[in-house]
Amino acid sequence: MVKILTLAVALAAVALLVPAGSAEDRKPEKSPHAAALELVFQKAAERIRAVDRENWWHDTEERAWLVRRPFSPGVIDSTHLFVVTYQVAGKKAAAWNVDTRAGKVEEQPNP
């Protein structure tokens, strides 16, 4: 019984030595979807403005950014492949194929 009590006290002492909040201090993993959006924002800013002809400073139209993988990873590794779509007022304004590994952004042709 004394050995168990001694072990419990020793474990409690070790717990006090671990810096408090160390798990909370770690930054969360960056979303790969957010990385795809960032690439589009960086590389296609002029095109975004060209397809959004509204007065984006004052209008009340909804803007939506949709990000998805074109297919699930498997035989072809699609881990870094995304399709980013920009919608204004519920209508597709433009879409891009994005490869976050290569840093490539290629606009899809309009159907």
- Mean of pLDDT over the chain: 85
Cα separation of the two ends of the chain: 77
Q: What percent of the chain has pLDDT over 90?
A: 65
**Reduced 3-state DSSP string for the chain:** CHHHHHHHHHHHHHHHHCCCCHHHHCCCCCCHHHHHHHHHHHHCHHHHHHHCCCCCCCCCCCEEEEEECCCCCCCCCCCCEEEEEEEECCEEEEEEEEECCCCEEEECCCC
pLDDT digits (tens, 9 = 90+) for 34-85: 999 999 999 999 999 999 988 889 999 999 999 999 999 889 999 999 999 9
**What band does 8 get if pLDDT is binned at 50, 70 and 90?**
very low
The vertex-23 CA angle with 20 and 25, nearest 5°, equals 85
**What band does 22 get if pLDDT is binned at 50, 70 and 90?**
low
Which residue in 83, 49, 50 sits closest to 66, CA to CA? Answer: 83
